[in-house]
Amino acid sequence: MNDNTPLFLRALQGLPVDRPPVWIMRQAGRYLPDFMTLKNKYDFFTRCQTPELATEITLMPIKQIGLDAAIIFSDILVIPQAMGVNVEMKNNFGPFIEFPVRKKSDVLGLNTSNVEEKLDYVFRAVKMTKKELPEHIPLIGFAGSPWTILCYMVQGSGSKTFDIAKSFCFENPELAHMLLEKITHITIEYLKKKIEAGVDAVQIFDSWGGVLSHTDYNIFSFPYIKKINDALKALKPIIIYPKGCWHAINSYSKIGASGLGIDWSCSARNARYLSGNNITLQGNMDPSRLFSPKNELIKLTKEMLNEFGNQKYIANLGHGILPNTPVDNVKVFVDTIKSFSND
Ligand code: CP3
């Protein structure tokens, strides 16, 4: 590895760094005024499906906030779409699926072939973005975990409990595993193509892992994320973000992933202990804390940095940035990290 390796990739590989890199989950949307202008002009999937728009949105936070990595503008729900499920993005509501997956015939009807063709617009956006990004800023590609994708496909919308998705799994585990296998298969194909198109690292969002018990997590989520990680880890660094699943930190630290996302319910100390310091950790400021007064935000950010330490660490929030977060506070958070050294 030469010295030109970007900071973000150095940290993911566990190489020594002068300061931790920083990026922010959901940095490419939600709070930047320029993004809101585009949002009012083009509907959500038009923004995802037009490589010029996806590239422009991906670059916005890099130019305006100065983060150390970019994440391609897209959504985890392009996978159900590619399988033949119609997903709408409703204003002030979120994802909506009129005909969710509930029966065996629904699962059998899902098509996992031709991802190259069906999600061609994502791969074109990745290629275009790579051309425009400065060389020292890596591009992150992503997908939802099979469990999190199942949650939306079966529930048909967002939910606090994903009760319909959970009872689907508990009433007919065989069918649930058939669906999870199908999602896993297409996700691996999709991420391989994203890597071929040029992403430098991949993050798996298991945003709804935390609705499962520890035992059920090991049945319905962990094995499928492990399968994706096994298929891809030799190609590019993989970051796994299992929200609300501190119980899985130890298992994830042993499967050869490069990074592990930590939410704010778990302390840095506990996460380091559970992972045996085997893996780069990423996180974990509560996104709501970006609404705190600036002095307090600086103090909390420094505390987070001191607790995780400089090495094997990527500074981030513990979940996606919230709509209406003041842009100035995002800059304060990022600048505090960039000027940090804990010696
Ligand atoms: O930095 C980025 O924003 C990159 C692109 C990105 C989006 N979604 C764009 C988006 C990423 C990485 C995602 C991931 C995603 N999508 C997750 C996992 C991360 C997480 O927050 O837990 C999940 C669960 C989804 C599903 C999804 N997409 C929901 C629940 C919603 C509605 C609520 C909301 O705003 O998050 C979306 C819509 C969506 N995806 C928007 C954006 C910018 C907002 C809608 C719009 O811009 O019109």
Nearest CA to ligand 1 atom 12: 26
Q: In the structure encoding, which two tokens stand for residue 6, read together? A: 């970007």
Distance, CA 182 to ligand 1 centroid (Å)? 22
- Give the HSE-up count for residue 179: Cα atoms under 13 Å, Cβ half-sphere: 32
pLDDT above 70 for 214 = yes
- CA 290–ligand 1 middle distance (angstroms): 19
Pick from 231, 115, 111: nearest CA to 182 = 111
Looking at residue 29, its pLDDT comes to 80
Query: How far out from the chain centre does Cα 21 lie?
Result: 16
Domain boundaries defined on the chain: 7-338
- Counting ligand 1 atoms within 8 A of each CB, the residue from 23, 26, 190 with the most, and so the one to mutate, is 26
- 341 has pLDDT over 90: no
Distance CA 306, CA 312 (A): 13
Pocket test for ligand 1, best of 75, 81, 137, 245 (most atoms within 8 A of CB): 75
Q: What is the pLDDT of residue 178?
A: 98
Which residues contact ligand 1 via a Cβ below 6 A? 26-30, 39, 44, 71, 73-77, 89, 94-95, 142, 158, 205, 207, 320
CA angle 284, 324, 321 (to 5 degrees): 20
State in Å: Cα 4 to ligand 1 middle.
32
Tally DSSP H helices, then E strands, for the chain.
17, 9
User: In this structure, which residue's CA is closest to atom 43 in ligand 1?
Assistant: 29
Asked whether residue 227 carries a pLDDT value surpassing 50, the answer given is yes
Residue of 187 and 29 predicted with greater confidence:
187
CB 197 within 8 A of CB 127: yes
Maximum C-alpha span of the chain = 60
User: For ligand 1, atom 44, which residue shows the shortest CA distance?
Assistant: 30
* % of the chain with per-residue pLDDT over 70: 99
Q: Which of 145, 144, 168 is nearest to 156 (CA)?
A: 168
Residue 2 has a pLDDT of: 53
d(CA 275, CA 127): 35
Q: What is the pLDDT of residue 46?
A: 95
**pLDDT at 1 exceeding the cut of 50:** no
Q: How far is the CA of 75 from the centre of ligand 1 (A)?
A: 6
Helix (H) or strand (E) segment spanning residue 56:
helix 51-64
Backbone φ and ψ of 73, nearest 5°:
-75, 120
CATH of 7-338, one of 3.40.1520.20, 3.40.710.10, 3.20.20.140, 3.20.20.210: 3.20.20.210
pLDDT in tens, 145-169: 999 999 999 999 999 999 999 999 9
Mean pLDDT, the chain, rounded, equals 96
Q: Of all protein residues, whose CA lies closest to atom 2 belonging to ligand 1?
A: 26
In three-state secondary structure terms, 210 is: helix
331 neighbors 312 (Cβ within 8 angstroms): no
pLDDT surpasses 70 at 87: yes
Model confidence at 108, pLDDT cuts 50, 70, 90, reads very high
In which band, very low, low, confident or very high, does the pLDDT at 342 lie, cut at 50, 70 and 90? low
pLDDT tens-digit map of 232-289: 999 999 999 999 999 999 999 999 999 999 999 999 999 999 999 999 999 999 999 9
Beta strands in the chain (DSSP E): 70-71, 87-90, 94-97, 139-144, 201-206, 238-242, 259-262, 280-285, 313-317
Q: Which of 5-19, 23-37, 170-184, 308-322 has the lowest mean pLDDT?
A: 23-37
Alpha carbon of 306 to ligand 1 centroid (Å) = 30
Q: Which atom of ligand 1 is nearest to the CA of 144?
A: 18
